[in-house]
Chain A
Amino acid sequence: NAGVTQTPKFQVLKTGQSMTLQCAQDMNHNSMYWYRQDPGMGLRLIYYSASEGTTDKGEVPNGYNVSRLNKREFSLRLESAAPSQTSVYFCATHQRQGGSGYTFGSGTRLTVV
C-alpha cells in the first residue's frame, strides 16, 4: 500500500522551462491538494480538487495549473518556471467523512535557476 506517490523527487529547471509534477494515490480519497513549503512559511495551498472533475485555487495559485486526471491522479504544472517557484512541493489526499487527517506524499524538491 503505497499511499501517496509523488514524482519526481528532485528536479532542477532553468528559468522559463516547463514541467509537470505528478501525484498518484491508492487511498481512494476524493480530495487531493498541492502545497508548497518554503523555509519559515509552513505549507501554503496552491490548488486543490475536492472531487474528481473539480479543481479550485488555493492561496498561491499564480504560475501554476492543475489537472485532476481521474480519482487517483492530480498533477501540477509549471508553464514557465521562475526562481520564486523554488520550493518543496507536497501532494496530499483527504477523505472528509470519518474525521481523519491528510495523507501526504514525500515531496518534490524543485530548484529553478
Chain B
Amino acid sequence: SQQGEEDPQALSIQEGENATMNCSYKTSINNLQWYRQNSGRGLVHLILIRSNEREKHSGRLRVTLDTSKKSSSLLITASRAADTASYFCATFPSEYGNKLVFGAGTILRVKS
C-alpha cells in the first residue's frame, strides 16, 4: 500500500503564481523526497529532507516537514510554464530498509 498521499490531486495556476502541494504519510521515516515527472518521461529527483530537518530550500523550491503531523509540503515560487508536470512525494520508511515508497502524485498545470 502507498505510504504517501498528495493533496491536491490536480492544481492549475497562472504563470508567476506560487504552487503548494502537500503530502501525508503513515509511518516513521528516515527522509522524505520530492520528484518531478514530465509527461512521458522518467522521474527526476528534486529535493530530499531528512527526518531531523524542518525546512529546506533549493532554488525556487521550498520543502517543509512536520514529523509530528506526518506531513510535508512542496512550494514552487514564481511558477513557469516549464514547471507543468506531475509531482510525487516519496518516503524512506524507517522499517522498510532500502526501499522508497511513492504517493499517487499531484498534477500541476501552469498556464502562460
Contacts and interface: CB of A to CB of B under 8 A. Distances in A.
Contacts, number: 61
B15 to A, nearest CB: 27
B48 interface: yes
Secondary structure of the B contact surface, majority rule: strand
A99 B47 CA distance: 10
B100 interface: yes
A4 B90 CA distance: 20
B103 A102 contact: no
Contacts of A99: 31, 48, 50
B2 A42 contact: yes
A106 B44 CA distance: 10
A40 B45 CA distance: 20
Instruction: Name the interface size band of chain A.
Output: 20 to 34
A58 B2 CA distance: 12
23 contacts: A33-B99, A40-B104, A42-B102, A42-B104, A44-B2, A44-B102, A45-B100, A45-B101, A48-B98, A50-B97, A58-B99, A90-B42, A92-B100, A96-B98, A99-B31, A100-B45, A101-B35, A101-B48, A102-B33, A102-B45, A102-B100, A105-B42, A106-B41
